[in-house]
Structure 1
Amino acid sequence: MGNSINRLNVLKNIAELLNEGTDLELMLQEVLQKLLTLTNLTTGWIFLIDQHGNRTLAAHENLPPALEHNNRAPMCQGGCWCVDKFNKGTLNKASNIIECQRIEIVTKQQLGSTCGITHHATVPLKVGGERFGLLNVASPNKTFFTEEELALLEATAHQIGAAIKRIQLTKKEQELALSAERNRLARDLHDSVNQLLFSMTLTARGGKEMTNDEGVKETFGYIQQLAQQALSEMRALIWQLKPNGLENGLLQAIKSYGEMIELQVQDRVSGVGHLPSNVEEVLWRVSQEALNNCKKHAGTNEILIHIEHEKNQVNVTIEDKGVGFTFSQNQNIPTLGLSNMETRVRSVGGTFSLKSEINKGTIIQISIPF
């Protein structure tokens, strides 16, 4: 990889990329490409690994055909020495890997060419006491990495770890800012539009009582009805922006929202646990959408919410016995609202499933690890 001057040049180029990046996956891909170019290596991949050991192939460059087989299934499935060591907490610095297990497997299965790659170096991505994943690099017929090469890879991995932490903190700050903006908007709506609609309701009722003309009475009555409807929808919107009662727990917030839109919410809770704020927020928003769908489309005012707490996971089932609709698991999610629910759940690493049949109601099942 060259002398110390070249090493500094590599670190400088990569630092410039990392300091500019805001999209994590794009940044990791660009950094991997730059690292391979500057070090004359050919192949690399980055695994992001969460605190539960769940692994994601976040970036890859020039994988041999055998590892690209079936949409990179050999990279995304199964374990290997480096991932196992990382999950056990025993991989703390850059290391040579003597014969990559993934290469061994695809070779035995004859899944294609490995382009002469048999070994790779692996480096944990970390900063301080936090660990984020692994950087792996390789080249054809390269079976050993020198101490100098490993030191450069370790320095690069530390830079990547710091950049991942920076992006995570920036995202959290943005989420807090968004929450603050929602709260401000909710206050503004309550103090202005909400009060105007309430005043309109009172004015229409007063006008109806002050006239003897039946046509005018009917008009004022219609205005009063529209104002009351708009007031009800405005209160529901304010609830969605700022969920009063969420501080008392997810279930209480859901039940209170259900009462406000005149639904009877039956509840069942299994287990005891405290949910992370981001998971609670997702479940709250998804439950709101489910209750709204029940109110508008299900033809029933009863809905069941079952929340099951496990050690590191929460499962939520939302079920109504309404009119239902035709839906097959092979179909795409049929409406934007339901699709948004699935997107929210997947954004925190959860799974979302939907079952519905005509005259048999609708069941939404959600599982989120944390």
Structure 2
Amino acid sequence: MVPEQHSDVILLKEIAELLNEETNMERMLGGAIDKLLQNSNFETAWIFFIDEKGKHRLVAQANLPDALEERDCRHLTKGGCWCVKRYHDGDLEKASNIIACQRIENAKAAHGKIGNISHHATVPLQSGKEKFGLLNIAAADTVRFSKDELALLESVAFQIGSAIKRIVLTKQEQELALVKERNRLARDLHDSVNQLLFSVTLTARGGIEMAEDEAQKSTFRDIQHLSQEALNEMRALIWQLRPKGLESGLIDAVKAYGEMLGLSMETKVTGVIQLPSRTEETLFRIAQEALNNVRKHAGTSAAQIYVTITPTDVLLVIKDEGLGFSPAHGAIPSIGIQSIRDRAKAEGGTADWSSELSKGTEILVRIPY
């Protein structure tokens, strides 16, 4: 008994060291369950993050049977199960033996076998009263784990929950610092470059009125036009650094930004908008990029924005009836599609576009929340 207890202490120490050193969430979770499996009788592990609506997301897995791993772990990522429901209902407070697993049964029904795994234990991941998800553990030919094994799982889950909280707080601090830096840059641009460009515009206007030679007047008109264009670009840049209007809602902010660019905006919303602030800002940034594209490339002064909210996703559509483009007629213009896709992908979403010459462009973005 003493060697086993000592072994558990060493295992917990090694996991704690890994968790303390790692700053990337996925590597941290994957490394923790790998080390747990390598130094215990447990054989298979996976971790779900579960949001307040009960929607789960597979964030880490180790040594899964082929039947659970096939097609991007579809049996773990799709559908519901008993342990997720118990967690969401608040009935799962400590490590528990699960008598039957719907996901394992579905995989077994689809493939005829799933190794010798038929049951799993589950333990909530939390830090204090804040809950993050579940750690599920299985072993071949095991239908119940001992009290000592469940106690070990609870200790590991406590360590993981604390590490998740640390990374979440660190990320929040980084995002806050980024917002502060954006605001500082926006203030500096507004107070310095923006004011200088405005002064150049006024000076050029005065030069037009004072000049007697037509060539001089033409030069001042060019200066006024260029400085006004630069001023518009600077205002758009300041908006991108520090989005104003989001406190009044996503649609109002997007509409105000489009009108600032000189676009006539048509908006339509289906569903009730109540989005996380991070999702809302991502959608705003994507809309900014798309509207900038309309202004610079579409050859039109009108755009349409459609937002559809479902219980799990938000769909953003930005349309124009401008020049459009076609890959068959040459390279796709640099319109920020990759930037939009990167922003959507960072939130677990997708972005795509369709366009036709002389018939405009449509960008479709879908983000889960």
Secondary structure at 1:86 match in 2 = helix
Cα distance in 2, alignment partners of residues 238 and 154 from structure 1 = 49
- The question of 1:236 aligning with 2:232 is answered no
Secondary structure at 1:39 match in 2 = coil
Cα distance in 1, alignment partners of residues 159 and 333 from structure 2 = 43
Query: Could you tell me whether the CA contact under 8 Å between 2:42 and 2:139 is conserved in 1?
Result: yes
198 and 50 in structure 1: CA distance in 2 versus 1, 3 angstrom threshold:
same
Cα distance in 1, alignment partners of residues 258 and 104 from structure 2 = 55
- The question of 1:289 aligning with 2:295 is answered no
Residue 138 (structure 1) aligns with: 138
Q: For residues 102-146 of structure 1, what are the alpha-carbon distances to aligned partners after superposition, in whole Å with 9 as ceiling and x for unaligned?
A: 33333333366x342233222111222322222122222233311
Cα distance in 2, alignment partners of residues 272 and 71 from structure 1 = 32
- 1:5 maps to a residue whose letter is H
Cα distance in 1, alignment partners of residues 143 and 246 from structure 2 = 56
Residue 24 (structure 1) aligns with: 25
Residue 190 (structure 2) aligns with: 190
Cα distance in 1, alignment partners of residues 157 and 207 from structure 2 = 73
| RMSD between aligned residues | 2.8
Residue 97 (structure 2) aligns with: 96
Q: For residues 287-339 of structure 1, what are the alpha-carbon distances to aligned partners after superposition, in whole Å with 9 as ceiling and x for unaligned?
A: 111211111222221112234456675443322222333479xxxx9856223
Residue 363 (structure 1) aligns with: 362
- TM-score under structure 1 length normalisation: 0.87
Cα distance in 1, alignment partners of residues 91 and 100 from structure 2 = 19
Residue 148 (structure 2) aligns with: 148
107 and 315 in structure 1: CA distance in 2 versus 1, 3 angstrom threshold:
closer
Cα distance in 1, alignment partners of residues 340 and 112 from structure 2 = 38
- 1:363 maps to a residue whose letter is E
- The question of 1:262 aligning with 2:262 is answered yes
Cα distance in 2, alignment partners of residues 205 and 299 from structure 1 = 27
Q: Aligned ranges for residues 1-370 of structure 1 at < 5 Å?
A: 3-110=4-111, 114-209=114-209, 211-308=211-308, 314-326=314-326, 337-370=336-369
- 1:361 maps to a residue whose letter is G
Query: Could you tell me whether the CA contact under 8 Å between 1:97 and 1:122 is conserved in 2?
Result: yes
Cα distance in 2, alignment partners of residues 45 and 261 from structure 1 = 48
How far is 1:51 from its partner?
Answer: 2.1
- 2:355 maps to a residue whose letter is S
- 1:232 maps to a residue whose letter is N
- When structure 1 is superposed on structure 2, of 286-295 and 334-343 the one drifting more is 334-343
- 1:247 maps to a residue whose letter is E
Secondary structure at 2:118 match in 1 = coil
251 and 15 in structure 1: CA distance in 2 versus 1, 3 angstrom threshold:
same
- When structure 1 is superposed on structure 2, of 179-188 and 94-103 the one drifting more is 94-103
How far is 1:160 from its partner?
Answer: 0.9
| Structure 1: gaps spanning 5 or more residues | none
- 2:279 maps to a residue whose letter is V
How far is 1:22 from its partner?
Answer: 1.4
Cα distance in 2, alignment partners of residues 58 and 277 from structure 1 = 22
Cα distance in 2, alignment partners of residues 90 and 99 from structure 1 = 16
334 and 17 in structure 1: CA distance in 2 versus 1, 3 angstrom threshold:
farther
- When structure 1 is superposed on structure 2, of 273-282 and 172-181 the one drifting more is 273-282
- TM-score under structure 2 length normalisation: 0.87
86 and 336 in structure 1: CA distance in 2 versus 1, 3 angstrom threshold:
farther
Cα distance in 2, alignment partners of residues 130 and 327 from structure 1 = 49
How far is 1:228 from its partner?
Answer: 2.0
Query: Could you tell me whether the CA contact under 8 Å between 1:94 and 1:150 is conserved in 2?
Result: yes
Cα distance in 2, alignment partners of residues 277 and 294 from structure 1 = 26
Cα distance in 2, alignment partners of residues 175 and 62 from structure 1 = 34
- 1:344 maps to a residue whose letter is R
Q: For residues 248-283 of structure 1, what are the alpha-carbon distances to aligned partners after superposition, in whole Å with 9 as ceiling and x for unaligned?
A: 332222222222211111223445544432222112
Query: Could you tell me whether the CA contact under 8 Å between 1:47 and 1:57 is conserved in 2?
Result: yes
Q: For residues 79-109 of structure 1, what are the alpha-carbon distances to aligned partners after superposition, in whole Å with 9 as ceiling and x for unaligned?
A: 3332333233322211123354433333333
Query: Could you tell me whether the CA contact under 8 Å between 1:327 and 1:356 is conserved in 2?
Result: no
Query: Could you tell me whether the CA contact under 8 Å between 1:349 and 1:369 is conserved in 2?
Result: yes
Query: Could you tell me whether the CA contact under 8 Å between 1:327 and 1:357 is conserved in 2?
Result: no
Secondary structure at 1:251 match in 2 = helix
Secondary structure at 1:192 match in 2 = helix
Query: Could you tell me whether the CA contact under 8 Å between 2:245 and 2:253 is conserved in 1?
Result: yes
Cα distance in 2, alignment partners of residues 327 and 53 from structure 1 = 42
Query: Could you tell me whether the CA contact under 8 Å between 2:269 and 2:308 is conserved in 1?
Result: yes
